[in-house]
Amino acid sequence: MTADFSQTDRNGKVLTGKLSLKQPGKVRFQYAPGVPLLIVAEGGALTFVDYSVRQVQRWPIRNSPLGVLLDPRRDLTRYAKIVPGTDPRVVSVEARDPRHPEYGRITLVLARQPSAPAGLTLQGWVALDSQGNRTTVRLSNQQYGVPVGDETFRWSDPRKGARRS
């Protein structure tokens, strides 16, 4: 899957870019030119790269709200519930690990669309971390079934200038 994204943080700051998603467990948030950030998940790790300060942070995917989207070992029936809503065209699913509230929670927003896989298209999500910080991601121009090569999930390590995967 590929899509354009718009990310809004708790202060209302909006960043945009391109999302690439490949199962199992791979995602890349390529921010728009001029934004020195990159988020890549692959091999069970979520990597945050800030090129402006040459910093790389890594942690297990399962320890983040994105784990429900990316960790193929996650059994959503144990962590997720449908959130009642007023619009029958929209399905919201809230997921959190009750044994680990420090991982935060994520609410996926899907729209009923007969032509989409399983009749649902991912519209975005709202992530809430353990400190109560909310990040909203909205997707547009979603394309399902498009080829996404493994090279998409490689990145340049700003600490060494080396290529990473």
d(CA 16, CA 91): 24
pLDDT, residue 25, reads 85
Three-state SS for 16? Answer: strand
What CATH number has the domain bearing residue 55? 2.50.20.10
Residue by residue, DSSP assigns 121-138 as EEEEEEEE-TT--EEEEE
Q: Which of 51, 58, 1 minimizes the C-alpha distance to 31? A: 51
Residue 145, token pair as written in the block:
């079934």
For the chain, the domain total comes to 1
pLDDT, residue 103, reads 83
Strand partners, 128: 105, 134
Kindly give the confidence (pLDDT) of every residue in the chain, 165 residues in length, as a single tens digit, with 9 standing for 90 and above: 999 999 999 999 999 999 999 988 899 999 999 999 999 998 889 999 999 999 999 988 877 777 777 776 777 777 789 999 999 999 999 988 888 888 889 999 999 999 888 899 999 999 998 888 999 999 999 999 999 999 999 999 999 855 555
CB 60 within 8 A of CB 44: yes
d(CA 32, CA 4): 10
Quickly count: other Cβ atoms within 10 Å of residue 55's Cβ. 11
- How far is CA 61 from its chain centroid? 10
Burial call 72-84: b when 16+ CB within 10 Å, e when fewer: eebeeeebbeeee
Residue 30 lies in domain: 2-164
pLDDT, residue 134, reads 95
d(CA 150, CA 26): 9
pTM assigned to the model: 0.88
